[in-house]
């Protein structure tokens, strides 16, 4: 079946930006400098200014941003890190990559984000850090999380991979904890045309350690101080991201308009619960994720596909159900339930009004069959 309404249309985005992208890419190609060049340095300055933090360290993926962020925060072998099971696998993977153990706390049912009250239940003598995930573009409730962390002497690494431009009480997501990890995967609110990531922080030491870790553990090329990685963002991706960064707020507002239209039309539809935006948050809708009740979710997804409308399930099971990470014995009933009901609808900033109308109509038709 031909997909008439994709989740996101990157070809349309490239076409919109072509006259800006072409000279930026040509300049890099003609310069002959492709690694650790002026575009990377400029992107770091511009991103830090946008987020309201002192430092932004460009990396080659959001996953590496999590791994390097944890190491820069001093998390290592034998430590425990509390996070949500309702997230992409990279969150738990990064914890394991540094030798620590993920400990899962259940979510708030309306925002899908980690419940601060559940975090406190899982703190032990081994707990070293908390990773709240700003899922689908909705910031987690950070004030109580930061209070718990301060009282228990824990570090906080925000997983802001899906929330570039989102806000918590007027402050940008990613500028609230000790550090924050961003992904520039192509479909993100700010996406490269390849992999990329960023670690943001106000802490000089965290920034310095991250800069060493991304470059084989060294600031001086032949004097490694740490066992590091090759995690540098390349110049081409940095140049592309610099073109796109000034458009992010406009694109996020477009996402919010699509979400508003969905909410107005789907809010009264029986069997569907639309996304919630908490009073403290500015949701940027990396995904527009509804709940489909009554055990219909998979059938509705298939019916949408047959009608040419793309949708996706994020996530088909919480990470406590994934064998590699599923040692948790905690009560994670809300995460389990969410995995059976969630369905993400198209919400890209370039989504045409006619396409939004088609999604609304086809979803309604899929539910009444």
CB count in 10 Å sphere of residue 326: 16
DSSP notation for 14-42: HHHHHHHHHHHHHHHHHHT--BS-HHHHH
pLDDT digits (tens, 9 = 90+) for 97-116: 999 999 999 999 999 999 99
Which residue carries 């650790």 as its tokens?
Answer: 36
- Our CA dihedral for 206, 209, 215, 217, rounded to 10 degrees, sits at -160
| The predicted structure's pLDDT at residue 217 | 95
pLDDT digits (tens, 9 = 90+) for 126-172: 999 999 999 999 999 999 999 999 999 999 999 999 999 999 999 99
Query: CB–CB of 91/82 below 8 Å?
Result: no
Question: CA-to-CA distance for 335 and 1, rounded, in angstroms?
Answer: 32
| The predicted structure's pLDDT at residue 328 | 62
Assign 79 to helix, strand or coil: coil
CB count in 10 Å sphere of residue 80: 19
Candidates 76, 84, 78, 333; CA nearest to 213 is 76
| The predicted structure's pLDDT at residue 327 | 63
Question: Partners of 198 in the beta sheet?
Answer: 58, 182
| The predicted structure's pLDDT at residue 83 | 98
Question: CA-to-CA distance for 63 and 66, rounded, in angstroms?
Answer: 5
Question: CA-to-CA distance for 177 and 266, rounded, in angstroms?
Answer: 35
| The predicted structure's pLDDT at residue 93 | 98
Q: 298: left (phi > 0), else alpha (psi -120 to 50), else beta?
A: alpha
Can you list the residues of the chain whose pLDDT is less than 50? none
| The predicted structure's pLDDT at residue 2 | 86
Assign 235 to helix, strand or coil: helix
Question: CA-to-CA distance for 144 and 130, rounded, in angstroms?
Answer: 12
Structural domains of the chain sorted by starting position, each given as residue range(s) with its CATH number in brackets: 10-104+112-246 (3.40.640.10), 248-368 (3.90.1150.10)
């Amino acid at each position: 079946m031909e997909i008439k309404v994709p989740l996101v249309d990157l070809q349309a985005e490239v076409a919109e930006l072509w006259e800006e992208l072409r000279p930026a890419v040509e300049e890099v190609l003609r310069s002959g400098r492709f690694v650790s060049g002026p575009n990377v340095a400029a992107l770091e300055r511009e991103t830090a200014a946008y987020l309201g933090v002192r430092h932004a360290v460009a990396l080659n993926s959001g996953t590496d941003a999590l791994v390097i962020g944890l190491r820069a925060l001093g998390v290592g072998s034998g430590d425990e890190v509390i996070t949500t099971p309702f997230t992409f696998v990279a969150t738990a993977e990064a914890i394991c990559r540094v030798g620590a153990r993920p400990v899962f706390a259940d979510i708030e049912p309306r925002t899908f984000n980690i419940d601060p009250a559940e975090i406190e239940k899982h703190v032990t003598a081994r707990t070293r850090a908390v990773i709240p995930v700003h899922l689908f573009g909705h910031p987690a409730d950070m004030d109580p999380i930061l209070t718990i962390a301060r009282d228990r002497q824990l570090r906080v690494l925000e997983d802001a991979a899906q929330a570039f431009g989102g806000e918590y009480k007027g402050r940008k997501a990613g500028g609230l904890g000790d550090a924050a990890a961003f992904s520039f995967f192509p479909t993100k609110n700010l996406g490269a045309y390849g992999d990329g990531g960023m670690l943001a922080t106000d802490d000089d030491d965290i920034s310095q350690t991250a800069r060493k870790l991304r470059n084989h553990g060294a600031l001086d090329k032949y004097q490694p101080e740490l066992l590091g990685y090759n995690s540098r963002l390349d110049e081409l991706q940095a140049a592309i991201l610099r073109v796109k960064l000034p458009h992010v707020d406009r694109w996020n507002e477009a996402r919010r308009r699509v979400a508003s239209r969905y909410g107005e039309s789907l809010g009264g539809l029986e069997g569907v619960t639309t996304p919630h935006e908490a009073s403290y948050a500015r949701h940027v809708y990396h995904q527009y994720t509804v709940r489909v009740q009554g055990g219909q979710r998979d059938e509705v997804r298939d019916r949408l596909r047959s009608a040419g409308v793309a949708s996706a399930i994020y996530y088909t099971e919480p990470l406590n159900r994934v064998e590699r990470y599923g040692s948790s014995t905690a009560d994670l009933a809300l995460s389990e339930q969410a995995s059976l009901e969630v369905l993400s609808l198209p919400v890209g900033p370039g989504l045409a009004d006619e396409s939004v109308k088609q999604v609304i109509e086809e979803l309604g038709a899929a539910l009444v069959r």
